[in-house]
Amino acid sequence: MVLNSGIQRGLDFSKPETIDLDQVGTELTTNYLSHIHLTTHLLSFLQRQKTLTALIYITSGLALAPIPRCPNYCASKAATHHLLLCMREQLRGSNVRVVEVLPPAVRTELHDEKHQPDIKDGGRIGISIEEFMAEAWEGLREGREEVPVGTSRRPYEDGWEVKRQEQFRKMAEMMRK
């Protein structure tokens, strides 16, 4: 099962009067809470299967290194990233794998002017869908649990995410004892 959802809107706390709290809630629901709802409903079915299954979540490289323009989007993807670390630990040893793909900006309607009027030429932002799919597919074929793609590899592989997850695993191990 692939879970992929995303709304990205600008959010500027230097102009609090421009913040639409309903829109903030919709973004959080779409990017984070929907994954919890779907996962809750899918897990019992997947756990009853006799073969290996997987939940594959598409998050974002912005879960690791946020940008000031869209803090709610970054926070929602970071929340999902942390949720997946914990889910993976809880489901370790079961027939359900928890996989995360962390794309960079990809040329999709996420950045187009219709959805984000403050971004000009947003359709040109990022890598092509074909580039994203080729690299993501390669990581999935290799059986990786986390697949950072393109520029998302830098914050992941350059050290801090690897070190942070080492600390997470140590804490999880202590909790099991």
Domain boundaries, the chain: 2-176
CB 88 within 8 Å of CB 39 = no
Which amino acids are annotated catalytic? 73
> Into which CATH architecture does domain 2-176 fall?
3-Layer(aba) Sandwich (3.40)
| Model confidence pLDDT, tens digit, residues 62-115 | 999 999 999 999 999 999 999 999 999 999 999 999 999 999 988 777 767 777
Residue range 108-136: average pLDDT? Answer: 79
pTM: 0.91
**What percentage of the chain has pLDDT greater than the value 90?**
75
According to the model, what pLDDT value does residue 110 have? 73
Rounded-to-integer distance, Cα 74 and Cα 72, Å? 5
Backbone angles phi, psi at 94, to 5 degrees: -95, 180
